[in-house]
């Protein structure tokens, strides 16, 4: 019995040990299988065609390149959506806001303008006879004069002779009354009054230097003669302005004209009196459009009895928008809109809790101050990007998503890629050569952009050579060149708005490069600088052939573009390590 008890004990211990060992192994195997299951959820994509998503590695069905692991953050995103890191959001100062109704309390249209003289109350003091100015009593422009004030004395041979005729005719007025009357009328035509004529006749003496008196009161706005000048009959002597009322001339864009009419109430402000508002009414709307600025002049008459408004002063007008109360429209800031040709686009944030973005085309209505009405494309409550829009657009282009310059998405393809022997799907067989809608600008502006481009090429070459110190210096040259670009050359309003935004982004990227001696950091900012400069040349052109080149391995296998003035690929993202990695994606001319 004792022997059997020992056997049973050994068996029991064996069972316990077996359960511990094999049960634990089963658990480990279960955990292992779980991990394996997690790994099978990995998605694979193509660095050149990020719209391709596969559940297992292999070749890209479009270009044949090896698929790479897709970031886990890409899961759950639609084809046209893309995501930015929180760090990228902070660096680019991306700001968003919710779309709201345009029918708001401060529904004003703002206009910029300048104070000018009221031409209706201006006068010109002229000479009614020829002669030489013996004395000019007006010393300076801006001097106030009163009606009847002595302005000048003039010696006039003609008037001297006419006075002698009067004295002679006065002695013969009884025998030759018609002659006497004709001589008097001649002097009256020269603006001598009855009192002056009677004085000459009574004294029997000729006035050698004849006085000229002011016919109106006001402020001298221009001296047109100097003492000692010889003048002709009817020649202007002084320009006199009455500044008790002035005009405010404001520029109205042609798409705003139907918002205004005569007698509309206007509130005018100026930096000279920051806490004051001045009321006026629309007095005149110019019927002729200025073809250079694409504006008409709107005139407001302003009371100036306290002499606060000075001609030449800049002012701003706020006019209540009476035609913009469309309850079905929503309003967005003008800073949120990108234009290319006739298209208007914004970037929305579909999920307010995640930094995910998507481009959307919209239809704009009227401009209301700093806002635009949106007739189609957005709804109340949509969250849109209002600051850093070009940075978002650059990120969309880098990730092959729909963007301002690429309305269909995918990496930008051109007919040039057929020469490179690349295959395309049916969706990519479209002609993309008309994708980039260029804005017409002056040759001067294009030349200034070309100078910026040339300094960019120098920066690219220094990144190729891994010369971080010279790259810092060249980025400062880019900043200098970009500051010399004359924005006044842009007459088109959309071109002006685009350039203001792009210029800010280029400066930010170049400034970041100038402050870092780390070649990796410089190349990261160069990626964004390149995207913004690509947009610039696509929009405005520089009248020379420019190559847009692409490396699929750069930017952590997401791919990155750069510009070159030659077709040969010299990669600035890897230097000598992979100097020829990449290919020409587009040719801009």
Question: Per the domain annotation, does 341 fall within a domain?
Answer: yes
Query: What is the pLDDT, as a whole number, of residue 230?
Result: 93
What Å distances lie between residue 197 and 130, 159, 175, 205, 276, CA to CA?
Answer: 18, 12, 20, 11, 53
Work out the number of other CB atoms within 10 angstroms of the CB of residue 285: 15
Asked whether residue 397 falls in the same domain as residue 376, the answer is yes
Question: Per the domain annotation, does 438 fall within a domain?
Answer: no
φ and ψ at 47, to 5 degrees? -65, -25
Asked whether residue 390 falls in the same domain as residue 289, the answer is no
- CB crowding 414-439: b at 16 or more within 10 Å, else e: bebbeeeeeeeeeebeeebeebbeeb
Please give the DSSP secondary-structure letter assigned to residue 503.
Answer: H
Domain count, the chain: 6
Question: Per the domain annotation, does 496 fall within a domain?
Answer: yes
CB 190 within 8 A of CB 128: yes
Asked whether residue 402 falls in the same domain as residue 510, the answer is no
Question: Per the domain annotation, does 417 fall within a domain?
Answer: no
Cα 159 to its chain centre, rounded Å, is: 62
Query: What is the pLDDT, as a whole number, of residue 71?
Result: 55
Domain CATH code at residue 335: 2.40.420.20
Question: Per the domain annotation, does 424 fall within a domain?
Answer: no
| E strand spans, 349-500 | 356-368, 371-376, 383-387
pTM for the full predicted model:
0.44
Query: What is the pLDDT, as a whole number, of residue 158?
Result: 86
Asked whether residue 580 falls in the same domain as residue 452, the answer is yes
Q: What does each of the 589 residues of the chain score in pLDDT, given as a tens digit?
A: 555 555 566 555 555 555 554 454 444 444 444 344 344 456 677 655 555 667 788 887 766 667 777 654 444 677 678 888 777 777 678 888 888 765 444 567 888 899 999 888 888 888 888 899 999 999 888 898 998 899 999 998 888 888 888 888 888 888 888 888 888 888 888 878 888 888 888 888 888 888 888 888 888 988 999 999 999 988 999 999 888 899 999 998 887 888 888 989 999 999 888 889 999 999 999 999 988 888 899 999 999 988 899 999 999 998 876 555 555 567 888 888 887 767 788 999 888 778 889 888 888 877 766 778 888 888 888 899 988 888 888 778 777 788 877 766 554 443 333 333 333 333 333 333 333 467 888 889 889 999 999 999 999 999 999 999 999 999 999 999 998 988 888 877 777 778 888 888 899 899 999 998 999 899 989 998 998 899 888 888 888 889 999 888 888 777 889 999 898 889 999 877 788 888 888 888 7
Domain of residue 300, residue span: 108-119+243-320
Measured CA angle at 161 (ends 157, 165), to 5 deg: 165
Where does a domain end: 241, 258, 285?
241
Asked whether residue 505 falls in the same domain as residue 543, the answer is yes
């Amino acid at each position: 019995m004792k022997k059997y008890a020992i056997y049973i004990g050994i068996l029991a211990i064996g069972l316990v040990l077996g359960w511990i060992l094999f049960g634990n192994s089963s658990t480990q195997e279960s955990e292992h299988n779980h991990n394996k299951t997690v790994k099978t959820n990995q998605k694979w994509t193509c660095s050149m065609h990020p719209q391709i998503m596969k559940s297992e590695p292999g070749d890209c069905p479009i270009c044949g390149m090896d698929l790479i692991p897709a970031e886990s953050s890409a899961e759950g995103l639609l084809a046209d959506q893309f995501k930015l890191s929180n760090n990228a959001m902070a660096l680019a100062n991306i700001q968003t806001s919710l779309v709201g109704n345009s029918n708001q309390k401060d529904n004003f249209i703002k206009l910029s303008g300048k104070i000018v003289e009221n031409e209706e109350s201006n006068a010109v003091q002229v000479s009614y006879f020829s002669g030489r100015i013996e004395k000019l009593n007006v010393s300076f422009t801006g001097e106030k004069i009163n009606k009847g004030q002595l302005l000048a004395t003039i010696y006039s041979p003609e008037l001297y002779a006419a006075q002698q005729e009067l004295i002679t005719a006065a002695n013969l007025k009884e025998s030759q009354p018609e002659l006497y009357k004709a001589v008097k009328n001649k002097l009256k035509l020269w603006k001598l009054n009855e009192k002056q004529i009677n004085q000459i006749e009574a004294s029997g003496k000729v006035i050698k230097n004849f006085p000229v008196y002011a016919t109106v009161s006001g402020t001298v706005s221009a001296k047109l003669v100097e003492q000692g000048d010889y003048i002709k009959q009817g020649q202007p002597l002084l320009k006199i302005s009455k500044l008790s009322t002035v005009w405010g001339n404001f520029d109205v864009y042609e798409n705003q004209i139907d918002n205004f009419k005569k007698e509309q109430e206007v509130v005018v402000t100026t930096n000279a009196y920051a806490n004051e508002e001045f009321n006026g009414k629309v007095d005149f709307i110019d019927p002729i459009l200025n073809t250079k600025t694409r504006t008409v002049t709107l005139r407001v008459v302003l009371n100036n009895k306290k002499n606060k408004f000075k001609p030449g002063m800049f002012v701003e007008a706020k006019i209540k928008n009476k035609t913009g109360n469309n309850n079905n429209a929503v309003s967005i800031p003008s800073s949120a809109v990108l234009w290319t040709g006739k298209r208007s686009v914004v970037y929305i944030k579909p999920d307010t809790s995640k930094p995910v973005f998507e481009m959307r085309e919209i239809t704009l209505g009227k401009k209301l101050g700093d806002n635009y009405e949106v007739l189609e494309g957005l709804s109340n409550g949509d969250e849109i990007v209002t600051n850093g829009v070009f940075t978002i657009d650059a990120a969309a282009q880098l990730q092959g998503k729909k963007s301002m310059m690429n309305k269909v998405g995918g990496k930008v393809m051109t007919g040039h890629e057929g020469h490179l022997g690349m295959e395309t799907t049916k969706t990519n067989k479209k002609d993309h050569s008309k994708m980039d809608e260029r804005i017409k600008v002056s040759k001067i502006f294009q030349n200034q952009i070309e100078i910026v481009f040339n300094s960019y090429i120098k920066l690219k070459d220094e990144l190729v050579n891994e010369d971080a110190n010279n790259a810092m210096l060249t980025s400062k040259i880019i900043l200098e060149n970009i500051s010399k670009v004359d924005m006044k050359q842009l007459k088109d309003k959309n071109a002006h708005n685009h350039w203001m935004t792009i210029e800010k982004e280029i400066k930010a990227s170049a400034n970041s490069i100038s402050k870092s001696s780390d070649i990796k950091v410089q190349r990261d900012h160069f990626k964004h600088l390149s995207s913004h400069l690509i947009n610039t040349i696509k929009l405005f052109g520089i009248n020379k052939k420019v190559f847009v080149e692409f490396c699929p391995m750069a930017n952590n296998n997401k791919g990155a573009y750069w510009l070159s003035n030659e077709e040969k690929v010299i990669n600035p993202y890897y230097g000598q390590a992979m100097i020829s990695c990449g290919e020409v994606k587009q040719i801009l001319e």
